[in-house]
Amino acid sequence: MLTVSVKWQKELLKAVEIDTSQPPYVFKCQLYDLTGVPPERQKIMVKGGLLKDDADWSTVGLKQGQKLMMMGTADEVVKAPEKGPVFMEDLPEEEQVVSLGHSAGLFNLGNTCYMNSTVQCLHSVPELKSSLVKYSHSGRNNDVDQTSHMLTIATRDLFGELDKSVKPVAPMQFWTLLRKKYPQFGQLHNGVFMQQDAEECWTQLLYTLSQSLRSAGSSENIDTVKDLFGIDLASRIHCQESGEETSETESVYSLKCHISQEVNRLHEGLKHALKSELEKASPALGRSAIYLKESRINGLPRYLTIQFVRFFWKRESNQKAKILRKVDYPLELDVYDLCSDELRKQLEGPRQILRDEEGKKLGLKANEKSSSSKDDDVKMIDGEGSSNASGESTVTTSQEGVPSDKETRLTGIYDLVAVLTHKGRSADSGHYVAWVKQESGKWIEFDDDNPIPQREEDIVKLSGGGDWHMAYICMYKARTVLM
């Protein structure tokens, strides 16, 4: 780590640290944060000419305390005219974000698209942001290590930057702490940071947040991550040979969609993943035997995360190979038939209320709607009944005079709100992108620092079958009613 000073216009930036294990582009992102000069406009004079984004620091010949000269113009904030119409670019940056309708992009710091896409998807969960805002520097107790605490703080601060900025954000502090907490994300190949698996980043980050927010000392934060993402599974484990049968329960943060020749749709892959065979010792037989494990959902979250199991370890190439098979997924997902009998009974009342309210919207009477099949019920539910940022259904909040003692209840029906895609043939190469539904209903493709508006009908086309972007992780938001 070197410390230099940088002369820019009339300013002298003192004690700027350079991590020589990272490419010069990362250093330029640091200067962008300090000066507002985008990396592509920066001209930094070093021995032999201008500093290139991918230059080797060992050949640049920097010395401790060296003074560098930078040229470049910062993005100017247009001053609002004293009179006349007010255009969006004339507004303060916070108001520009509101007018723009989506948050900022994230600079790629060197094969960090896996991290950027994960952050953008989780950033779209308002309840998670709310819990992070309440988390303070003094919130840590002895159950959480210092690095996890600081990574949680960095996540909170990064989410805040994304909400306030119209310019791309350089997630330097977050990335540094992510690598410190989980060193596998700091792997180098020929001096360059390697691409990593976005699902591993998603899982590790959620685990850290679950530990930090659970220990925040406030009763409402005790199970924040589990309440938002936790799925309770009840499993029956049966050995046909011996007749032995046991049961077990577990909590996970995502469902798996297994992909095989028989799987063409998400629902089929979910059913396939909830059944598995395992070999273990049989007390009755005194030897190993094959057991069938059948699982059912026994508790649903506000946000249902689904991972498409597209990667497997290929010994010949010594890397994670990719299953390119097309698997269709819906904008609206009903998991009622994947639930336990106990949970189905709990869902029946809320589902009936939701069907009746949707029927009223289409001009049907409640009893007419009730007489139709469950499949028809699900088909007629449209985006108008989706959850808003507060987690309450717009169907129920539109009613007047609702008693305050009513509770928000899940229905087992979910709306797609985020898709994390991968393009390429291996999990540790290629490119990751986030596709996120905004509160306005618009979809934005976050390709690192470049947010691009997309049409909803194009989101479900990211289902695979070729070398284009295909869904790797889908996040659905629960439709709820008040009861």
208 and 272 co-located in one domain: yes
Q: Please give the tally of structural domains in the chain.
A: 2
Domain shared by 53 and 107, yes or no: no
Alpha-helical segments (H) within 13-125:
24-35, 57-60, 93-100, 113-123
| 240 φ/ψ angles, rounded to the nearest 5 degrees | -70, -30
The predicted pLDDT at position 29 comes to: 86
For residues 394 and 199, the model is more confident at 199
> What is the rounded average pLDDT of the residues 153-161?
96
Per-residue pLDDT at 136: 81
Q: Which residue has the higher pLDDT, 134 or 478?
A: 478
Q: Is residue 305 situated within a structural domain?
A: yes
Do 297 and 432 fall into the same domain?
yes
Q: Residue 136 falls within a domain, yes or no?
A: yes
**Which runs of consecutive H residues, i.e. helices, occur in 215-365?**
224-229, 266-273, 341-361
Please give the sequence-ordered ranges of beta strands (E in DSSP) within 143-196, or none if there are none: 188-189, 192-193
- Is residue 107 helix, strand or coil? coil
Q: Where are the alpha helices (DSSP H) in 243-388?
A: 266-273, 341-361, 366-371, 374-380
The two most distant CA atoms of the chain are separated, in Å, by 88
- Rounded-to-integer distance, Cα 170 and Cα 29, Å: 6
| Average pLDDT over every residue of 48-63 | 85
Residue 123 is among the residues annotated as catalytic for this protein: no
> Is residue 82 included in any domain, yes or no?
no
Cβ(408)–Cβ(347) under 8 Å? no
Same domain, 195 and 306: yes
258 is catalytic: no
Q: Is residue 86 part of a domain?
A: no
Beta bridge partners of 238: 245, 292
Question: Of 82-91, 150-159, 224-233, which range is least confident?
Answer: 82-91
Question: Within this chain, do residues 205 and 260 fall inside the same structural domain, yes or no?
Answer: yes
Q: Under a CB-based contact definition with an 8 Å cutoff, are residues 60 and 51 in contact?
A: yes
Which of the given ranges, 92-106, 141-155, 352-366, has the highest pLDDT on average? 141-155
pLDDT, tens digit (0-9, with 9 covering 90-100), for 37-55: 888 889 998 877 888 888 8
Q: Same domain, yes or no, for 254 and 326?
A: yes
Residues found in the chain: 483
- Tell me, yes or no, whether 394 lies in a domain: no
B/e letters for 346-355, b = 16+ CB within 10 Å, e = fewer, are bbeebbbbbb
Confidence of residue 228 (pLDDT cuts 50, 70, 90): very high
38-42, long-range: CB < 8 A, 24+ apart: 38/72, 38/75, 39/107, 41/72, 41/73, 42/70, 42/71, 42/72
Q: What is the pLDDT of residue 479?
A: 96
Residue 83: predicted pLDDT: 53
Mean pLDDT across 197-203: 96
How confident is the model over 431-483, as pLDDT tens digits?
Answer: 999 999 998 899 999 999 999 999 999 999 999 988 889 999 999 999 999 98
* High-pLDDT (> 90) share of the chain, %: 53
From the list 238, 239, 272, 431, the catalytic residue is: 431
The answer to whether 253 and 230 have CB atoms below 8 angstroms apart is yes
Nearest residue to 182 (alpha-carbon basis) of 198, 201, 199: 201
Token pair 């709100």 in the structure block, residue: 417
Give mean pLDDT, residues 113-133.
96
Task: Report DSSP letters for 361-394, one per residue.
Answer: HTT--HHHHHHS-HHHHHHH--GGG-B-TTS-BH
Q: What is the CATH number of the domain that holds 11?
A: 3.10.20.90
User: 272-306 pLDDT, tens per residue?
Assistant: 999 999 898 989 888 999 999 999 999 999 999 99
Which structural domain, as residue segments, surrounds residue 421? 100-214+224-350+407-482
Residue 271 and residue 165 share a domain:
yes
Per-residue model confidence (pLDDT) at position 96: 52
Q: Decide if 76 is inside a domain.
A: no
Which one is catalytic: 113, 121, 201, 474? 113
Q: Which range among 72-81, 100-109, 136-145, 474-483 has the greatest average pLDDT? A: 474-483
CATH number at residue 415: 3.90.70.10
pTM reported for the whole predicted model: 0.76
How high is the pLDDT of residue 365?
54
User: Does residue 258 belong to any structural domain of this protein?
Assistant: yes
